[in-house]
Amino acid sequence: MSEIPSRVVAVATVKGGSGKTTIAMCIAAHWLYSGLSTAVIDTDPQRSARRWAFAGSELEIMRIDVCDAHDGAAVMARVEELERAGFERIVIDTPGFRSPALFGALDRADLALVPVRPSPVDFEVAADTVDLLGAVQLDRIGDRPLHVRMVLSQVSPRTVIARHMRQELKSAGYPLMDAELSIRVAYAEAPFSGSVPGLIDPKGVAAREVDALVAEIDKVWA
Ligand SMILES: Nc1ncnc2c1ncn2[C@@H]1O[C@H](COP(=O)(O)OP(=O)(O)OP(=O)(O)O)[C@@H](O)[C@H]1O
Ligand SMILES: [Mg+2]
């Protein structure tokens, strides 16, 4: 049995297309290739995480389980099963809508990572998601805290909007990661090759962004 405590990340926001699956797969692959036993639970009916992993050979070795988006209890049970099996990192990709799977994932997560693109609509939905997480927190069973962090996703380099969003979110008191993911072809192409930027070009900008995100996540629950 592993000495490393298992940690569960739910990548969650009710805004579609915000970068959940991209973040989920990039951080899971990072942990897998750094030697941690890592599993992904795909709760999105589109099965994007599963498709991504099976599009090539590099992520085939990662355990990818699927759960019904309408069955929150199944997600909770699956997390417990993976923890008992000794998985050190469990990443849950959630659908881009309010679903029982989202609530099941949040009930068992140590960290809810909420991707937010620099746009007014994403800002509002991400803020609503974080407020919703505050309510979930109150009903949780068990004594592990649910940390909540927003992460800027698909940021266009050299534009002021992301900086502006960062200031707005911070001044409104929302917990925001320092790490952010810029908009890059490397992320958009990765699902087609069944790989991730960190394996395709480990020294590239996208790979370094993911490294920084994972390092910051590991500090959240340190
Ligand atoms: N940082 C990025 N740079 C470039 N393209 C990105 C980036 N992040 C995501 N994308 C692309 O944007 C689209 C949506 O991303 P993704 O599938 O990760 O979002 P999602 O939140 O999981 O969407 P859904 O709600 O549909 O599940 C995909 O085509 C993806 O390849
Ligand atoms: Mg997705």
CB 58 within 8 A of CB 199: yes
Average pLDDT, the chain: 92
pLDDT exceeds cutoff 60 at 37: yes
| Atom of ligand 1 minimally distant from the CA of 23 | 18
Q: Is the pTM of this model over 0.85?
A: yes
> Ligand 1 centroid vs 13 CA: distance in angstroms?
13
pLDDT digits (tens, 9 = 90+) for 89-111: 999 999 988 899 999 999 999 99
CB 30 within 8 A of CB 61: no
Burial of 84 (0-12, 13-18, 19+ CB in 10 A): exposed
The residue that leads in pLDDT, 101 or 126, is: 101
| Atom of ligand 1 minimally distant from the CA of 16 | 25
CA torsion sign for 86, 115, 202, 44 is: positive
Whether 43 lines ligand 1, by a CB cut-off of 6 Å, is no
Mean pLDDT score, 141-165: 86
Instruction: Determine what percent of the chain is predicted with pLDDT higher than 90.
Output: 72
> Ligand 2 centroid vs 113 CA: distance in angstroms?
13
pLDDT exceeds cutoff 80 at 137: no
Whether 19 lines ligand 1, by a CB cut-off of 6 Å, is yes
**β-strand pairing of 63-66 with 147-152:** unpaired
Mean pLDDT score, 67-73: 95
What pLDDT band is residue 142 in, cutting at 50, 70 and 90?
low
DSSP string computed for the chain? --SSPPEEEEE--SSTTSSHHHHHHHHHHHHHHTT--EEEEE--TT-HHHHHHTTSSSSTTSEEEE--TT-HHHHHHHHHHHHHTT-SEEEEE--SS--HHHHHHHHH-SEEEEEE-SSHHHHHHHHHHHHHHHHHHHH--SS---EEEEEE-SBPTT-HHHHHHHHHHHHTT--B-S---B--HHHHHHHHHT--HHHH-TTSHHHHHHHHHHHHHHHHT-
Q: Which of 128, 68, 59, 55 is nearest to 94 (CA)?
A: 68
Which CATH code is given to the segment(s) 7-220?
A: 3.40.50.300
pLDDT at 36: 96
> Ligand 2 centroid vs 45 CA: distance in angstroms?
9
Mean pLDDT score, 172-183: 94
Q: Which of 94, 102, 187 gets mutated to test ligand 1 (max ligand atoms within 8 A of its CB)?
A: 187
